[in-house]
């Protein structure tokens, strides 16, 4: 399944979810090069273990289980997956 970060994160990027995630699958972090340029944070659906720890810490309620993602934000599942994959490639190239 995986969790998804939707529109309320845009312009917020609080990052409390980053600290709450036990498997480090939410990016970019504040210290990563693309943090300023990205409009929101993304969850890597391959690495996410569906624990739900990120949901209650989000101050704008932007994170949903895939099955609970509101219809108006369904496209964010694909956006998270695509941007997370790009971020994985970028970080591999930089390391
Ligand atoms: Fe990380 Fe758990 Fe949230 Fe998935 S559900 S992004 S593993 S905190």
**pLDDT tens by residue, 18-35:** 999 999 999 999 998 889
State the pLDDT at residue 87.
Answer: 85
- Sign of the CA dihedral 31, 35, 83, 66? positive
d(CA 90, CA 7): 23
Residue 10: give its domain's CATH number: 3.30.70.20
Q: What pLDDT does 1 receive?
A: 79
Ligand 1 atom showing the smallest separation from residue 2 Cα: 4
Q: pLDDT > 70: what percent of the chain?
A: 100
* Ligand 1, atom 4: closest residue by C-alpha: 48
| CA of residue 46 to ligand 1 center, whole Å | 11
Output the pTM of the full model: 0.95
User: Which range of residues forms the domain containing residue 15?
Assistant: 3-94
CB 54 within 8 A of CB 20: yes
How many structural domains is the chain composed of? 1
Question: Residues lining ligand 1, judged by CB closer than 6 Å?
Answer: 3, 20-21, 23, 25-26, 43, 48-54
> What confidence score (pLDDT) does residue 42 get?
97
């Amino acid at each position: 399944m995986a969790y998804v970060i939707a529109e309320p994160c845009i312009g917020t990027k609080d990052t409390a979810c980053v600290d709450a995630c036990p498997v480090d699958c939410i990016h970019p972090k504040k210290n990563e090069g693309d943090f300023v340029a990205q409009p929101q944070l993304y969850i890597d659906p391959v690495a996410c273990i569906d624990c739900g720890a990120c949901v209650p810490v989000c101050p704008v309620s932007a994170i949903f289980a895939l099955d609970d993602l509101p219809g108006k934000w369904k496209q964010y599942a694909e956006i998270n997956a695509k941007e997370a994959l790009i971020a994985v490639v970028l970080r591999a190239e930089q390391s």
